[in-house]
Structure 1
Amino acid sequence: MNETSQKRWGMTIDVNRCVGCQTCTVACKHANDTVPGVQWRKVLDVEVGEYPDVERLFLVTGCQHCAEPSCVPVCPTGATKQRDDGLITMDYDLCIGCASCAVACPYQARTIVHDKPTYFGVTTPQETKVAHDERIGVAQKCTFCIDRVDEGLEAGLNPGEDPLATPACASSCISQAIKFGDFNDPTSHVSELVATRDYFQMHEELGNDPQIKYLIETPAVPARNSDPMDLSDETLLDTEHALVGKRQTFWDMRAAMNFIMGGIGSGSAVIAYLLWVSGNVDTQFLATVNIVSSIILSVGLFCVWLKIGRKLRAPLAILRPQTSWMSREIYAAGIFFSSIGLYFFEPNPLLLSSAAIGAGLFLYCQGRILHSGKGIPTWRVSQMPSMLVATGLLEGICLSAVLYFGWNSEISLTSFIPPSAMILILFNSFLWRRYARNAKKWGISPIDRNIIGSLSPKLYTFGHIIPLILFGIAFFIPNTESYIVCIASLFALIGSIFWKATIITRACHMQNFALGKMPHRGSGKFAAPNVN
Structure 2
Amino acid sequence: MHPTTSQPELLQGTATQWSSTAHLQTKWDWRAVGNFIGGGTGAGLLLSATWLAPSIQAYRVQAALGLVIVALGLLCIMAKMGRPTRAFNIFRHVQTSWMTREGFAMPTLFGCGALSLFQSEVGAMAVAATLSALFFLYCQARILGESKGIPAWSDPRIVPLILSTGLAEGIGLASLCSAFVPGSVSSPLAGLLLATLALRYLAWHRYQKGLSVDEIPRETFAVLGHFSGNFEVSGHGLPAALLVTGLLLGGTATTGLAATAGLIAAVTGWSLKLTLVTRAAYFYRKSFSLSALMAQGRART
Q: TM-score range by the shorter chain?
A: 0.7 to 0.9
State the secondary structure of the residue aligned to 1:104.
coil
Q: 1:387 to 1:476 in 2, by over 3 A?
A: same
Partner of 1:19: none
State the secondary structure of the residue aligned to 1:366.
helix
> How big is the shift at 1:290?
1.3
Distance in 1 separating the partners of 2:58 and 2:183: 16
Q: Does 2:241 align with 1:464?
A: no
> How big is the shift at 1:211?
4.3
> How big is the shift at 1:424?
1.4
Report Cα offsets for 1:226-271 as digits up to 9, x if no partner: xxxxxxxxxxxxxxx9332311011011101110122111111122
> How big is the shift at 1:409?
8.6
> How big is the shift at 1:466?
0.6
Aligned residues with identical type, % of pairs: 28
Partner of 1:116: none
Q: Does 2:128 align with 1:354?
A: yes
Partner of 2:51: 274
Distance in 2 separating the partners of 1:491 and 1:312: 37
Partner of 1:295: 68
- The structure with the larger Rg is 1
Distance in 1 separating the partners of 2:14 and 2:184: 65
Q: Contact between 1:339 and 1:351, CA under 8 Å: does it hold in 2? A: yes
Q: 1:292 to 1:379 in 2, by over 3 A?
A: same
- Given residue 355 of structure 1, which amino acid in structure 2 is its aligned partner? A
Distance in 1 separating the partners of 2:237 and 2:119: 43
Higher relative contact order (CA 8 A, sep 6+): 2
Partner of 2:146: 372
- Normalising by the residue count of structure 1, what TM-score does the alignment of the two structures yield? 0.50
Distance in 1 separating the partners of 2:203 and 2:274: 17
Q: Does 2:65 align with 1:286?
A: no
> How big is the shift at 1:346?
5.8
- Given residue 26 of structure 2, which amino acid in structure 1 is its aligned partner? T
- Given residue 416 of structure 1, which amino acid in structure 2 is its aligned partner? P
Distance in 1 separating the partners of 2:117 and 2:62: 14
Match of 1:491 among 251, 259, 264: 264
Distance in 2 separating the partners of 1:463 and 1:411: 23
Partner of 2:298: none
Distance in 2 separating the partners of 1:485 and 1:308: 38
Report Cα offsets for 1:323-363 as digits up to 9, x if no partner: 21111111112211011223356667211111111111111
Partner of 2:297: none
Distance in 1 separating the partners of 2:247 and 2:182: 15
Q: Does 2:169 align with 1:264?
A: no
Q: Contact between 1:243 and 1:513, CA under 8 Å: does it hold in 2? A: no
Which structure dedicates a bigger proportion of its chain to strand? 1
Q: Contact between 1:367 and 1:384, CA under 8 Å: does it hold in 2? A: yes
Partner of 1:105: 10
- Paired residues, number: 285
Q: Contact between 1:257 and 1:304, CA under 8 Å: does it hold in 2? A: yes
Root mean square deviation, CA, Å = 2.5
State the secondary structure of the residue aligned to 1:322.
coil
Distance in 1 separating the partners of 2:281 and 2:99: 19
Report Cα offsets for 1:140-170 as digits up to 9, x if no partner: xxxxxxxxxxxxxxxxxxxxxxxxxxxxxxx
Report Cα offsets for 1:25-49 as digits up to 9, x if no partner: xxxxxxxxxxxxxxxxxxxxxxxxx
Q: Contact between 2:190 and 2:247, CA under 8 Å: does it hold in 1? A: yes
Report Cα offsets for 1:269-300 as digits up to 9, x if no partner: 12222225xxxx22332222111111111110
5+ residue gaps, structure 1: 1-74, 77-95, 107-207, 215-240, 515-532
Match of 1:337 among 110, 116, 126: 110
- Given residue 505 of structure 1, which amino acid in structure 2 is its aligned partner? T
State the secondary structure of the residue aligned to 1:250.
coil
Match of 2:28 among 247, 251, 257: 251
Distance in 2 separating the partners of 1:256 and 1:212: 30
- Normalising by the residue count of structure 2, what TM-score does the alignment of the two structures yield? 0.86
State the secondary structure of the residue aligned to 2:41.
helix
- Given residue 90 of structure 2, which amino acid in structure 1 is its aligned partner? A
Partner of 1:69: none
Q: 1:416 to 1:246 in 2, by over 3 A?
A: same
| Correspondence list, 1:386-425, <5 A | 386-408=160-182, 415-425=187-197
State the secondary structure of the residue aligned to 1:243.
coil
Partner of 1:325: 98
Q: 1:385 to 1:97 in 2, by over 3 A?
A: closer
5+ residue gaps, structure 2: 288-301
